[in-house]
Every structure is written in structure tokens, then in C-alpha cells.
Structure 1
Amino acid sequence: MKFIDPHQDRWQQVSGEDGPQSHPPVAPHRLLTLEQWHAVRAEWPQGVAVGVMLPNDADVEDVAADLPRLALVVLHFPKWVDGRAYSQARLLRARYGFKGEVRATGEVLVDMVPLLQRTGFDAAQLRADQKPEFARRALGFFGGHYQGDTEHPQPLFARNNPQPYASRS
């Protein structure tokens, strides 16, 4: 998992004095709101890296047709107890086969990192008071999981024994 330093992030949001611009200019590594993306997607050139910030109350299906054109989807945790972005990440990976970066932002705590990884996130911007070195360590807390996840869809027992119910003679 990659931990994002917001001061060194190549992805840039496009906003003006009054908030996000409604029709942002085309440039590589633009990070757009869902509304901005809907305004420019028809004329956004193929091959120009673009990312979309998806609110945690938005339906992933709103961007499903555009996923092949997106390099990054940012999912937001407005509160650490609000887990809807976990479901969004899982849907992006498992149902829609999204191969780009899925990033967590907002109230992202070290304790959340193992579940972020299991549900399909591959990057996180930790809350300012959280330390990346502790988050990296948290990724090693659990040696294995009984349930499948986005990286290993089969349950642990099925990976270790591909035919658990085969007849035994």
C-alpha cells in the first residue's frame, strides 16, 4: 500500500476562489469532482491521466462506464466510523474490474489500513495525526484471513486445499 503525502502528490484538484471550477482545463493528473468529470468527460482526450473523487454516498455505477478512462478513483471517509467507501472500493475491484489506483482520503486512521487493503484500496492519505510508519506496520498484523478479499477471492481453506470435499479413499 502506498501512503500519500498531500504536499508531494502529483494529482491536483482544480478549484477557483469559489470552489471547484465547473469546467476544468485538460491537463495530466487532474483530480476532478464527480460533477467536474461529468461536465468534461465527453471532450477529455484518451490517454490524458485523470482521476475522480467519488463521494461516499455516490453510486459506483455512476462512473462504471468511465472506469477504463480513469487512472485514479479517490474514495472519501468523512468519519472513520463511516465505512461506505470500503463497499465502493470492493465494487470497483470485484464487480467492475478497475485496475487503476483506488485511494482513501479523509478520516483515515492507521487501524483502518488492513481493511483498506483487503477491500481494494492500494493507496491512502492518512489523517494528519497518523504516521505512515505505523500504518506500514499495521499491514503485517494479520498473517492470513479466513474470508476471501479483493486480492485473494477464495477463502483461505480453499487456497490451501483446492478440493476440500473430495472423496477420501
Structure 2
Amino acid sequence: MRLIETHSPLPADALAFDNTVDVLERRDEIAAARAVVLHFPKWTDGRAYSQAVLLRLRLRYAGELIATGEVVGDMLPMLQRCGFDAAQLRADQDPAVALRTLGRFPGQYQGDVTGARATPIVHAA
């Protein structure tokens, strides 16, 4: 997962979608795009996760997916599992702390768009 500085510009040629857009209806535009930016207006609103999964699994989009908006560090593992390549964190987030969330959990209970299958989580006795 790549982090984009909070005030850095996003790729000029990227398509940007609000989280209310039906990405399946925009498939022709998306197929030609080098990058797609999906917006999280609130960190508690997960519709952009669903958009990312649709882009990766149904549309087979292979370009860069970027998360913007109210993106907090705790979201990085789920962003990665849904197919995001990069994120632009909210200004009050520490990038080093956010990146540490990616290695926090050793397994998962379900598969994801990266092809990772569920792994048993073994608890020490």
C-alpha cells in the first residue's frame, strides 16, 4: 500500500468518483483509465470499499485504485483487501502509524480481492 502525502496532487489523468456512483455503469470510462480515485466522505461510510471490489472483481480493473477523503490509518488493511493500491490519509493521521496497521493481523476469516484465502487463526494456549 502506497501512501500519498495529504496535500500532494493526485494523478491528473485519474478518474475520480464520489461513493454514490454506480461504477458498473461507467465501465467504458474505467477500462481506459490509468487510475481511479474513490472518495470516502466519512471514515464510517464504506461504499467506496464496495466500489473497489466491483472494479477489481466484476470489471477486472487492473489500474491503480486510490482512496481519498476521510481515510484513517485503521482503514489500510481493509483498503488493501478490497484492492486499493494507494491512499491519501486524512491530515491528522501519522503515516508511520498507519503503515504499521498492515502487519497487525496474522490471518483473516475470509478471502479477498487479492486472491488471499482465509487462513486459520491459531490462538496460543
TM-score range, shorter chain: 0.7 to 0.9
Q: Does 1:129 align with 2:71?
A: no
Amino acid of the structure 2 residue aligned with 1:2: R
Listed one character per residue, the Cα deviations across residues 89-129 of structure 1 (whole Å, up to 9, x for unaligned) are: 01101111111111110000011111111111110000000
Q: What is the distance in 2 between the residues matched to 1:153 and 1:62?
A: 28
Residue 109 of structure 1 corresponds to 72
In structure 1, the residue matched to 2:2 is 2
Q: Which moved more, 1:132-141 or 1:147-156?
A: 147-156
Find the partner of 1:87 among 46, 50, 65: 50
CA drift at 1:156: 3.2
Unmatched 5+ residue regions in structure 1?
12-29, 31-49, 158-169
The structural deviation recorded for 1:65 is 1.8
Task: Point out where structure 2 has 5 or more consecutive residues left out of the alignment.
Answer: 121-125
Aligned to 2:109, which of 123, 146, 151?
146
Aligned length: 120
Greater C-alpha radius of gyration: 1
Q: Using CA pairs under 8 Å that are at least 6 residues apart, name the structure with larger relative contact order, 1 or 2.
A: 2
Residues in 2 aligned to 1:134 and 1:94: alpha-carbon distance in whole angstroms: 30
